[in-house]
Amino acid sequence: MTTQKTAIVTGSARGIGAAVAKRLAEDGLAVAVLDLTEESGADTVKAITDAGGKAVAIGADVSNEESVNAAVAKVVEELGPPTVVVNNAGILRDNLLFKMSVDDWDAVLGVHLRGAFLVTKAAQKHMVDAGWGRIVNLSSTSALGNRGQANYSAAKAGMQGFTKTLAIELGKFGVTANAIAPGFIETEMTAATAERVGVPFEDFKKAAAAQIPVNRTGVPEDIAHTASFFISEGAGFVSGQVVYVAGGPRD
C-alpha cells in the first residue's frame, strides 16, 4: 500500500483554492487547507471529510515567514510531510497607477509572490527528501497586462518566472513546477470586480463570455482539473510550463 501524499493548498477557504483542495482530496491526497485563519477553512475541510477525504484547516499569513514555517511544521505533524504545494493565495487592491498606494502595491506582491516563495521554500525540503514533488502556482491572464492592476499583473507575471526557475532548480530531485493562468473565473473575487465597476455580476459574466472563444466563463473546477493533471504521476515530464486556462488562446 502506498503512503498517502500530503498537499498544501493556500487560499483554499473559498473559490479556486477550495475547488483545488476538494479535487486533490478526491484524487486521494491528504489536504492542508491553508488560509488566513483556521476558522475560514472549516467549510472546505467539512466538504472534504464529508466526502470521505482527509483534510485539516490551518491558519497562516503566507506573507509572514514565521507564520508560514509554523504552518508547514503543523502540516508535517498532522498530515505528514507535504510533497505537493498549490500556491493560490491572492488578494486584489486594484487601482490605476497614479492612484495606487505603496501599501496596495506591497500587500499584493506580499501575498502572491512573497507568499509563494515562503511556502515553497518551507515545503521543498520535504519534496527533495522524498525524491518527488509537485508545485503548482496560480498566475493569471492579467500577467499579460490589465488596466488598473499594475500590482496584480506584476505579481502574476512574477509567478511565471518563479515557476520556471523552480522547475530548473528542483527538477533533478524529482520535483516539477508548473503554473496555471486562469482567465475569467466565476468567484467572489470577480464578483467584487463587477461590483467595483458598477455592473451586475450576471451582466459582467455575459459580457466576458462574449469575448471568450468557448463562449462561457470559467468555474473554479476548470482550474482544479488542470491542477489535478499537473499533480498526477503521469505529468512527471511536464515542468516549467504556464497553461492559460482561459477558454481560448493567450500568448
Residues 33, 152: one domain? Answer: yes
pLDDT-above-90 percentage for the chain: 96
Q: Would you list the DSSP string of 94-160? A: -B-GGG--HHHHHHHHIIIIIHHHHHHHHHHHHHHHHT-EEEEEE--GGGG--TTBHHHHHHHHHHH
pLDDT at 244: 98
Domain carrying residue 197: 186-217
Residues 86, 209: one domain? Answer: no
Tell me if 40 is assigned to some domain: yes
pLDDT-above-70 percentage for the chain: 99
Tens of pLDDT along 78-92?
999 999 999 999 999
Residues 59, 33: one domain? Answer: yes
Using CA atoms, how far apart are residues 137 and 164, in angstroms rounded to an integer?
10
- pLDDT grade for 2, boundaries at 50, 70 and 90: low
- pLDDT grade for 145, boundaries at 50, 70 and 90: very high
Residues 227, 175: one domain? Answer: yes
> Which is the catalytic residue, given 117, 152, 230, 244?
152
Q: What number of CA atoms fall less than 13 Å from residue 195's CA on the CB side?
A: 6
Residues 237, 125: one domain? Answer: yes
87 Cβ partners below 8 Å, 6+ apart?
10, 115, 116, 119, 120, 135, 136, 137, 138, 159
- Domain tally for the chain? 2
Q: What is the mean pLDDT of residues 150-154?
A: 98
- pLDDT grade for 196, boundaries at 50, 70 and 90: confident
Mean pLDDT taken over the chain: 97
- pLDDT grade for 234, boundaries at 50, 70 and 90: very high
Q: What's this model's pTM, rounded to 2 decimal places?
A: 0.97
Tell me if 1 is assigned to some domain: no
Residues 174, 204: one domain? Answer: no
Residues 202, 81: one domain? Answer: no
pLDDT at 1: 47
Using CA atoms, how far apart are residues 170 and 177, in angstroms rounded to an integer?
8
Q: Is the pLDDT of residue 201 over 80?
A: yes
Residues 205, 170: one domain? Answer: no
Tell me if 106 is assigned to some domain: yes
Tens of pLDDT along 176-186?
999 999 999 99
Tell me if 147 is assigned to some domain: yes
Q: Work out the number of other CB atoms within 10 angstroms of the CB of residue 139.
A: 26
Tell me if 251 is assigned to some domain: no
Residues 236, 136: one domain? Answer: yes
Tens of pLDDT along 39-53?
999 999 999 999 999
User: What values do phi and psi take at 173, rounded to 5?
Assistant: -100, 10
Question: DSSP class of residue 3?
Answer: P
Question: Contact, 120 vs 87, CB < 8 A?
Answer: yes
Tell me if 249 is assigned to some domain: no
Q: What is the mean pLDDT of residues 95-99?
A: 97
Residue 244 is among the residues annotated as catalytic for this protein: no
For helices 102-109 and 150-170, angle between their N-to-C axes, nearest 10 degrees = 30
Q: What is the mean pLDDT of residues 181-200?
A: 93
CATH number of the structural domain spanning residue 155: 3.40.50.720
Tell me if 102 is assigned to some domain: yes
pLDDT at 52: 98
Q: What is the mean pLDDT of residues 171-200?
A: 95
Residues 132, 55: one domain? Answer: yes
pLDDT at 197: 87
Residues 105, 192: one domain? Answer: no
Q: Is the pLDDT of residue 118 over 50?
A: yes
Question: DSSP class of residue 29?
Answer: -
Residues 80, 101: one domain? Answer: yes
